[in-house]
Amino acid sequence: MLGRPGLSRTGSFRPENLGQNALHMIGNLCFTIFVIGVLVFTIIAATYEPEDPLFHPSTKLTTFLTSTSNATFQSDNTVVKTGEDFMAANQTAFATFINVTDVVEIKEERTDQTSSSECEGDPRKPLNCRDPEVFHLMMKEAIERFKDIHFYRFGKPAPGPEENTCDMAWRFRPKEGKTAAFYKDYRRFVINRSENCTLSVLSIGDYHSGVNARKRKNKNQKPGFEKTSGRQEQVVAALPVVGETVNDLLPVVESENAFSRGKYLIYVGGGDRCKSMNHYLWSFLCALGEAQYLNRTLVMDLKLCLSSIYTSSNQDEEGKDFRFYFDFEHLKEAASVLDHEQFWQDWNKWQKKDGLSLHLVEDFRVTPMKLSEVKDSLIMRKFGLVEPDNYWYRVCEGETESVVQRPWHLVWKSRRLMDIVSAIASKLNWDYDSVHIVRGEKARNRDLWPNLAQDTSPDALISTLQNKIEDGRNVYIATNEPDTSFFDPLKDKYSTHFLDEYKDLWDENSEWYSETKNLNNGVPVEFDGYMRVSVDTEVLLRGKKQIETFNELTNDCKDGINTCNTASS
């Protein structure tokens, strides 16, 4: 035994076994490489955070919102994008506007049928605002006076407070409008009638001065004059009309029977409160999307917590109303929603009597697809205390993202806020350029933005803008610079305007103030930081020319030094 060769103890290295061993070794090596590759891929997949196209420029936003992926979220404190921002402005549908020649032709057609005979004998008698001649004069004068807007509808004139005044409303869009929306204005006309009964317009009042012509929209009411096609009527029905009377009263269930037959979804708890408005909307639209997928009514809490990033107190503020910021009238007309307070009152009255059942879900990983067969009257998603797993939007991640789509078209900006935007633009006759000037903390941080302070100084702005904006133009400046007198040197070349110039549109004598106070149970509502930035941004976006700070006023990167390529990708 001691005389045997050492290699004879095993057959592993016998010549006849070498090929088989080599195959085993290669197989084991390949398997090891495969396992390592799987581990590396798993680690990358678990830690990778793709950049969120939700907060990219509008072109990337549109691409993102029409794609199949909609679950990624990163917090942001900018003004939130809403449904109307992603509507394409169909210029063909908007092409049928009223020209002054249309009014003249209509007047000529009716000359033989009507006359100003009422004037005969006493030209001082009260003016008949319903007289076709008066109506045609007012339309013609409006079209000729406001050259930067297109008119789509004129309402029938209503008598003003004085015998020689008439109020008239119209629907319009700015000629160079980039947003898919209509606007409504109503103004007071002072009309003179001479001894020979010739009519002329002496003056036209300011934006929304013709209050007697302001009426609640009525789908069956025929306008005074309109030139529309069937295609345009469809477009109008799908677009916001800024300036219409807002009806955002809370919906109610008609009867006990109707309530008991209904199916409902409610989200309770979670860590979404007091986050940025983008975060709030990202989560809310997930809940609304699930409700629509399940064909259920969404029970929603209209009371919001406004994040400290928007408040003057620098503290989170509870008790804000959804209707301060968003168009609840459009939401309740386009989707099935109920206020949670009204819902729980009805539930407590009829739940036991009618045997209404509740299905509780406490894990966000339970997908809407798994709930599609639930027959209970109410599905309640209850979220815990641990962030980020208690964020509502987690429901729409994973396999759900390709099934449940966020219904962006259902959420529009508050038409009360947009009416302030329209008022400011109208005061500038919709004929202005706009400049967005970022200063504040970024201008003070020379490590990340080394040139911003100098590039946005008055001297630098005058030098940069002279090749971009003509002298003498109205220029609206949206800025976070608290002292707007800093920009006084620009007044030598331009007529500059800032948001605070229009405080009367939200002060205690304004329409916005009285309406939001009524919504808030008689308690005055502050025109808060989010509202200010929202209005400021929307006025900026309606300028004929729009100049941005980064890329146009400075070469500094928006997110700090060496981030330009990342921001633009």
Pull the structure tokens for residue 78: 């900018």
Helix, strand, coil % over all residues of the chain, rounded to 5: 40, 15, 40
Find out whether 272 and 283 touch, Cβ atoms under 8 Å: yes
- pLDDT tens per residue, range 89-118: 665 567 788 988 888 765 555 554 444 445
Q: Give the model's pLDDT for residue 95.
A: 73
pLDDT beyond 60 at 53: no
Domain coordinates in residue numbering, the chain: 93-238, 256-410, 415-568
pLDDT beyond 80 at 296: yes
- pLDDT tens per residue, range 163-184: 999 999 999 999 988 888 899 9
| pLDDT band for position 185 (cuts 50, 70, 90) | very high
Q: Which ranges of 52-114 does DSSP label H, i.e. alpha helix?
A: 58-65, 100-110
Give me the residue label for tokens 């088989």.
20
Omega of the bond prior to 388 within 30 degrees of 0, cis? yes
| pLDDT band for position 8 (cuts 50, 70, 90) | very low
Q: Give the model's pLDDT for residue 259.
A: 96
pLDDT beyond 80 at 45: no
Give me the residue label for tokens 């009255």.
349
- pLDDT tens per residue, range 417-434: 999 999 999 999 999 999
pLDDT beyond 70 at 42: no
Residues near 152 by beta carbon (within 8 Å), at least 6 away in sequence: 96, 97, 98, 170, 171, 172, 173, 182, 226, 227, 228, 232, 236
Strands annotated E in 176-302: 182-193, 199-204, 225-226, 241-242, 264-269, 297-300
Looking at the chain, the whole-number percentage of residues with pLDDT higher than 70 is 79
Class of domain 256-410: alpha beta
pLDDT beyond 50 at 194: yes
What do you get for the CA distance between the two ends of the chain, in Å? 75
Q: What is the mean pLDDT of the chain?
A: 85
Cα(157)–Cα(213) distance, integer angstroms: 7
Q: Give the model's pLDDT for residue 271.
A: 95
CA distances from 156 to 15, 65, 562 (A): 106, 41, 59
Q: Which ranges of 48-174 does DSSP label H, i.e. alpha helix?
A: 58-65, 100-110, 132-145
Pull the structure tokens for residue 545: 């020319």
Cα(71)–Cα(393) distance, integer angstroms: 7
Grouping H, G, I as helix, E, B as strand and the rest as coil, residue 306 is: strand
Q: Give the model's pLDDT for residue 179.
A: 83
Grouping H, G, I as helix, E, B as strand and the rest as coil, residue 300 is: strand
Find out whether 419 and 182 touch, Cβ atoms under 8 Å: no
Grouping H, G, I as helix, E, B as strand and the rest as coil, residue 267 is: strand
Q: Give the model's pLDDT for residue 219.
A: 52
CA distances from 420 to 61, 167, 185, 224 (A): 26, 20, 12, 26
Q: Give the model's pLDDT for residue 4.
A: 43
pLDDT beyond 70 at 569: no
Q: Give the model's pLDDT for residue 23.
A: 62
- For residue 210, count other CB atoms closer than 10 A to its CB: 25
pLDDT beyond 90 at 396: yes
| pLDDT band for position 215 (cuts 50, 70, 90) | confident
pLDDT beyond 70 at 403: yes
Grouping H, G, I as helix, E, B as strand and the rest as coil, residue 198 is: coil
- pLDDT tens per residue, range 264-293: 999 999 999 999 999 999 999 999 999 999
Find out whether 476 and 540 touch, Cβ atoms under 8 Å: yes
HSE-up (13 A, CA, CB side) for residue 308: 4
Pairing of strands 337-339, 297-300: parallel
User: Which of residues 68 and 222 earns the better pLDDT score?
Assistant: 222
Give me the phi and psi of 474, to 5 degrees please.
-70, 125
- pLDDT tens per residue, range 299-337: 999 999 999 999 999 999 999 999 999 999 999 999 999
Find out whether 359 and 377 touch, Cβ atoms under 8 Å: no
